[in-house]
């Protein structure tokens, strides 16, 4: 009989590896009957893993996640998406009004208002990195937490904020229609581990075999994802593999369950973040993240970043020393 496990996840393309592993039966091959539990916010996923309602979770790293994991109940065991130069990544948009007043590049963000989703979110961290790279203090930027992507879009369009950092599938149409101006890419400034696969500490000790099986299947999914969407040709442009449309359709089933398959698949291809083919974590970046968040007072000083990670399930995590 198959062992039942559930995974909490959001409907994002960046979790595509997981969806592929499900669709292609990699979990079944490992003897796991995986049920996907879709959430509409990241927070409850981590909570559900802590409370034991789901065995695994895949989400972005936030200050909140680190705070929760820092209490010892969670372990990050593999990677999700990553910000990598040359691949899709978050973009910085300026409102038309601000652009006209001279906000044309990232170094001019000082003194401007910037919309982010939430305090301690990836956008918040990325704004910090942009500030550091451009030599101004984050404090000189007025951060506006707006909670949701629709709110961010509404704010930039109506000029309520001067700039936002936002995912490419939303940024591009805005820039294309002239409702906002693209002024930079986050990946030009920093590479960044967005999120990961995590489970409860109890699982890593009590049900190690299950976790190992899960990770193996998960890695296969990640590999398929990387092959389909991330291959590059000689000139450094993304060269989609011939079967990428079929692969994208599999991912789209979970990300855009309600949309027409062809259209949805195209959206998936256009929004494919970089995912490591072996689902390896950028360990050094995570340590940097936690340190920065601690410095900002967003993560509790008592949190030990290394203790959050369990690197024993995958060999060769990046920057692990």
Partner 1 sequence: MADVAHDLRPAATADNRPVTFRGGLFLPRTHRLVGFAALVALILLWQAASSFGWMSPVLAPSPGEVIDALKRMALSGELATHLSASLVRLAGGFAIGGTAGIAFGMAIGLSSLVRSPGATLVAALFPIPKIALLPLFILWFGIGESSKVATIAFGTFFPMVIATYGAVDNVDRSLVRMGRSFGLSSFAIISKIILPGALPGILSGMRIASSIGIVLLIAAEMIGANEGVGAMVLAAGNLMQSDRLLAGVVVLSLLGLTVAGVIGAVEKRLLAWR
Residues that bind partner 1 (CB under 8 A): 8, 10-11, 37-41, 43-44, 46-48, 50-51, 53-54, 62-65, 67-68, 71, 73, 115, 118-121, 143-151, 153-155, 157-158, 160-161, 170, 179, 255-256, 258-259, 298-300
Distance CA 153, CA 158 (A): 9
| Shortest Cβ 234–partner 1 spacing (Å) | 35
Q: Which residues contact 206 (CB under 8 A, 6 or more apart)?
A: none
Of the two residues 67 and 312, which places its CB atom closer to partner 1 in the complex? 67
Of the two residues 279 and 293, which places its CB atom closer to partner 1 in the complex? 293
| Shortest Cβ 200–partner 1 spacing (Å) | 11
Of the two residues 105 and 263, which places its CB atom closer to partner 1 in the complex? 263
| Shortest Cβ 64–partner 1 spacing (Å) | 4
* Helix (H) and strand (E) counts in the chain: 14, 13
Q: At what angle do helices 244-255 and 16-23 cross, to 10 degrees?
A: 100
| Shortest Cβ 125–partner 1 spacing (Å) | 12
Question: Helix, strand, or coil here: 312?
Answer: helix
Of the two residues 115 and 223, which places its CB atom closer to partner 1 in the complex? 115
Distance CA 294, CA 286 (A): 12
| Shortest Cβ 158–partner 1 spacing (Å) | 5
Answer for the pair 317, 283: CB distance below 8 angstroms, yes or no.
Answer: yes
Answer for the pair 5, 55: CB distance below 8 angstroms, yes or no.
Answer: yes
Of the two residues 166 and 217, which places its CB atom closer to partner 1 in the complex? 166
| Shortest Cβ 321–partner 1 spacing (Å) | 29
Of the two residues 176 and 320, which places its CB atom closer to partner 1 in the complex? 176
Q: Rg for the chain (alpha carbons), in Å?
A: 19
| Residue 4 parent element (H or E) | strand 3-9
């Amino acid at each position: 009989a198959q062992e039942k496990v559930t995974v909490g996840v959001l409907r994002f393309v960046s979790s595509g590896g997981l969806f592929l592993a499900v669709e292609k039966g990699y979990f079944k091959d490992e003897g796991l009957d995986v049920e996907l539990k879709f959430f509409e916010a990241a927070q409850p996923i981590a909570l559900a893993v802590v409370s034991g309602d789901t065995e695994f979770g895949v989400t972005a790293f936030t200050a909140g996640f680190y705070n929760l994991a820092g209490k010892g109940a969670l372990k990050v065991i593999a990677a999700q998406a990553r910000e990598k130069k040359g691949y899709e990544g978050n973009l910085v948009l300026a409102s038309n009004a601000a652009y006209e007043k001279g906000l044309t590049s990232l170094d001019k963000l000082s003194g401007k208002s910037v919309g982010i989703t939430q305090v301690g979110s990836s956008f918040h961290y990325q704004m910090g990195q942009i500030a550091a790279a451009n030599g101004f203090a984050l404090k000189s930027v007025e951060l506006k937490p707006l909670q949701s992507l629709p709110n961010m879009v509404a704010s930039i369009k109506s000029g309520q904020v001067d700039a936002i950092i936002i995912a490419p599938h939303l940024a591009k149409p805005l820039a294309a229609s002239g409702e906002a101006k693209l002024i930079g890419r986050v990946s030009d400034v920093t590479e960044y581990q967005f999120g990961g696969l995590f489970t409860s500490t109890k699982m890593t000790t009590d049900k190690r075999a299950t976790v190992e099986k899960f990770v193996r299947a998960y890695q296969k999914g990640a590999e398929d994802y990387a092959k389909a969407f991330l291959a590059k040709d000689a000139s450094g442009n993304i060269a989609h593999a011939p079967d990428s449309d079929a692969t994208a359709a599999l991912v789209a089933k979970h990300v855009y369950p309600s949309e027409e398959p062809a259209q949805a698949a195209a959206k998936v291809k256009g929004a494919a973040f970089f995912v490591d083919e072996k689902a390896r974590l950028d360990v050094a970046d995570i340590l940097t993240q936690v340190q920065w968040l601690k410095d900002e007072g967003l993560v509790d000083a008592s949190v030990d970043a290394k203790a959050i990670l369990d690197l024993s399930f995958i060999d060769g995590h990046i920057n692990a020393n």
